[in-house]
Homo-oligomer: A and B are copies of this chain.
Amino acid sequence: MNIPEKTIERLSEYRRTLMSCDRQGISHIFSHILAGIHGITAVQVRRDLMLIGFSSDTKKGYDVKELIRFIGNILDSAEPMNMAVIGMGHLGQAITKYFNSKGLKLRIVAAFDIDPSKVGSEIMGIPCYDMKEFEERAEAENIDIVVLSSPTSAATKLVVPIINAGIRGVLNFTSTPLNFPKGMVVENYDITTLLEKVAYFVKENDENNL
């Protein structure tokens, strides 16, 4: 199935909202309610769900549990995927804690760092290994995806071990955009960009309101 990136992002967001609804005992939800929560139009929600072939809109709205399962069939792989975090500073720890508390199919199972005070210990419930051992450990732990939360200055040094270890997806939070061979999935995500974007639109709003 050929689903655009933006739709994949929204499906991930819908599912999180639906899971929260489910925990609150909400069994059905209308498209315009789901849309309102995400600040988009009901047409967009219906279009996204149509694209993945979900069509059981009842008089009570979508069945929450059914839609969670349906989105799961699209997003999740049959085999659980293992992730590792490279760089166990504040950002690495925040991501691990946050992510592993969600009960998702994706799990962060290992961390890597070069700081001797971290290597060899458990942080946020997962073992932290020496970055020197990355290739063998990544293979042993069956790591598919890595999150880069190291200092930016270390980022380029990580490319070769990541390729050698056969990693298939990279989420890069450092400020250095990294290029990997074609066929690897890479998302470069610098938080500065998000903040500069918000600041820009705040400024534009001001200028339009003069």
B-contact 0/1 string along A73-115, CB 8 Å cutoff? 0111100010100000111011101110010101000000000
Question: Is A36 part of the contact surface with B, judged by Cβ < 8 Å?
Answer: yes
Question: How many copies of this chain sit in the oligomeric assembly?
Answer: 2
Contact B177 A38 (CB under 8 A): yes
Contact A106 B189 (CB under 8 A): no
Q: A189-B194, A192-B102, A194-B171 are in contact. Are A199 and B77 (CB under 8 A)?
A: yes
Count contacts on A: residues with CB < 8 A to the other chain: 65
- The secondary-structure label for the interface of chain A is helix
Q: Is A193 an interface residue (CB 8 A)?
A: yes
Known: A17-B177, A192-B99. A197 touches B5 (CB 8 A): yes
Residues of B within 8 A of A39 (CB): 177, 179, 186, 188
A145 and B202 in contact (CB under 8 A), knowing A90-B97, A106-B195, A192-B102?
yes
Using a CB–CB cutoff of 8 Å, the interface residues on chain A facing chain B are 5, 8-9, 12-13, 16-17, 20, 36-39, 74-77, 81, 83, 89-91, 93-95, 97-99, 102, 104, 106, 144-145, 147, 149, 168-171, 175-177, 179, 183, 185-203, 205-206, 209
